[in-house]
Structure 1
Amino acid sequence: MSNIGSGGFPTSHTTSTTTKVTPLIWFDKSYIQTIPGLLKASAIIIDLIAFIIAQFGSSSSGRVGFFSFTSMMAFWLTLILLALYCLHVVEKLQSLPWLLGEFAFCLIWTAFYFLSSLLMLIDGGVHSAAGVFGFIAFAIYGYDAFIKYQGYSAGEIAQGDRERTTIGQNNA
């Protein structure tokens, strides 16, 4: 008697997952050439430009303060994340749910940039230019959140290689 089900597929199978990570901390500039690396690098540049533009103008309202907080926190946190990836610290600590954490981070900063950019556009003047750069950052963080969600849903790891193989077995 065989364990072949309908359609000729085995009714039992084994799934094997192999994760390959480098336990060393080393600088890898090639990460910046990947899509996640490019997103982080471009977000850092846009965050800084948006912050600098927001400092011009006559208003020192809470709107400008919120936008400045959003852009500077995004700048520093994204810069730290980029450094962690370039130094392969994320790969060394691959047991942590990096993709889920980054998804949450990107989602929060997407919401912060949307709200603060709208407020800057309402403020008008030179702050409208900061709002435009804020919406560019909003799009970058939103797309990065989408990528992180897809990776997390697919069971990927943030850095390193993970291979899954499924082997059918017959228990005759």
Structure 2
Amino acid sequence: MTDPVFPSQHTTTTTVTNTEVITNFRYDKSYVYTLAGKLKIAQIVCVFLSIMTLSFSTYNMWYQNSAVTSIMMFGLWFSLFMLVFYLFHVVECFYKIPWLKIEMIFNVCWPLLYLLSAAIAASYIGMNFSYTLSLFFGFAAMFAYGYDALLKYHAIQRGEIAQGNNVMHKQTTISTY
């Protein structure tokens, strides 16, 4: 006689995740055509244009400009290095480093700093047109970093790695009693 509380069948699902990476350096221009690659290029271009317009200002020697330029230069160099790391698969070679978390933290902090630097540039809008352009490109960079942070957050939630593949194998076993 079967017990009505205990099911006559039991299903077990086992999920195994394997990480597939190629640990050699190689150039891969296809990263530039992905959404993440396009965002990196947009970040670099917007920050570069913001720095250039700010440096052509007649008030470029003020101490406020050095803070703004420092924030923008650090963002430019970080984005440029990460673009090169992705293009040459350095990120994939060192896949144990939590690249997505590092980038997400950077991409969360930097829009706040760009908002601060854009506010400083906005306080000088009436003085010079170059501050207006710097403000525009600073806000564009801020939105690019913010959207990239959102994409990195979703990738972390899905359990992805920065480069390479996480392959999941599911095995289902049904036992009948």
Give the TM-score taking structure 1 as reference length. 0.90
The whole-number CA distance in structure 2 between the counterparts of 1:144 and 1:31 is 15
Shift of 1:159: 0.5
The whole-number CA distance in structure 2 between the counterparts of 1:80 and 1:35 is 17
The DSSP-based 3-state class of the residue aligned with 2:159 is coil
The whole-number CA distance in structure 2 between the counterparts of 1:29 and 1:70 is 28
The whole-number CA distance in structure 2 between the counterparts of 1:62 and 1:33 is 39
Counterpart for residue 91 of structure 2: 90
Counterpart for residue 137 of structure 1: 141
The DSSP-based 3-state class of the residue aligned with 1:120 is helix
Counterpart for residue 7 of structure 1: none
Counterpart for residue 149 of structure 1: 153
- 1:54 partnered with 2:54: yes
Counterpart for residue 35 of structure 1: 35
Shift of 1:107: 0.8
Q: Note the alpha carbon deviations across 1:101-154, whole angstroms, 9 max, x for none.
A: 100011111111111112101111221210110000001000000000000011
The whole-number CA distance in structure 2 between the counterparts of 1:149 and 1:61 is 37
The whole-number CA distance in structure 1 between the counterparts of 2:119 and 2:68 is 10
- 1:64 partnered with 2:65: yes
Q: Select between 57-66 and 134-143 the one with higher mean Cα deviation.
A: 57-66
Counterpart for residue 171 of structure 2: 167
Does structure 2 retain, via aligned residues, the 8 Å contact 1:113–1:135?
yes
Q: Select between 75-84 and 52-61 the one with higher mean Cα deviation.
A: 52-61
The whole-number CA distance in structure 2 between the counterparts of 1:165 and 1:62 is 57
- Shift >3 Å, 4+ stretches: none
Counterpart for residue 3 of structure 2: none
Does structure 2 retain, via aligned residues, the 8 Å contact 1:56–1:127?
no
- 1:158 partnered with 2:162: yes
The whole-number CA distance in structure 1 between the counterparts of 2:64 and 2:132 is 12
Q: How many residues align?
A: 165
The whole-number CA distance in structure 1 between the counterparts of 2:169 and 2:119 is 48
Counterpart for residue 74 of structure 2: 73
Percent of pairs with identical residues: 30
What 5-or-longer segments of structure 1 have no aligned partner?
Answer: 4-9
**Radius of gyration: which is bigger?**
2
Alignment of structure 1 residues 7-22 onto 2, 5 Å: 10=11, 12-22=12-22
Amino acid at match of 2:145: Y
Counterpart for residue 26 of structure 2: 26
RMSD: 1.3
What 5-or-longer segments of structure 2 have no aligned partner?
Answer: 1-7
